[in-house]
Amino acid sequence: MESRSVTVSSPATIANLVCGFDILGLALQEPYDLMTVKLISEPVIRISNTDSFGLPTDPAQNVAGAVLKAVMETCKRDIGFEVSMEKRIKPGSGIGSSAASAAAAAVAANQLLDGLFTTQELISLAMEGEKLASGSRHADN
């Protein structure tokens, strides 16, 4: 397999807009996260961080890891991913830090897999990351 990688910029979001609470939302220009994902032929997920937030690198405890695990289970290919994350959205800030990681992982994996997933499938995959972060599958960001 040819080794390929993609870098995704994923923005902070606000989804709690007055009467449209969790229905209306918008992406912010800043802050945003950067995630580089590399497709590998070994069925593992390796995560490294280039920031100082100290988020887990264990895929079972990392939002991006949960999404990429779901990608691997769904596509049923003998693949894996190496991820380098630079969080610029402070975790726990209320502006979609976990959603940015989940969305970036889903979009990056889809790009590396030549657009295998539909938009609805990408949302469902990203919701696996939100389930890890908050205990429930939701797509409010």
7 forms beta bridges with 36
Amino acid 133: pLDDT: 76
Instruction: Give DSSP secondary structure letters for 67-98.
Output: HHHHHHHHHT-S-EEEEEEE--SPTTSSS-HH
| 55-69, 83-97, 110-124, range with the lowest pLDDT | 83-97
Report the distance separating Cα 109 and Cα 94, nearest Å.
25
Amino acid 25: pLDDT: 76
Q: How far apart are the first and last CA of the chain?
A: 34
> Phi first, then psi: what are they for 19, rounded to 5°?
-70, -10
For the stretch 64-98, pLDDT in tens is 999 999 999 999 899 999 999 999 999 988 888 99
pTM for this prediction: 0.90
Amino acid 132: pLDDT: 80
> How confident is residue 2, by pLDDT bands cut at 50, 70 and 90?
low
Amino acid 20: pLDDT: 62
For the stretch 34-45, pLDDT in tens is 999 999 999 999
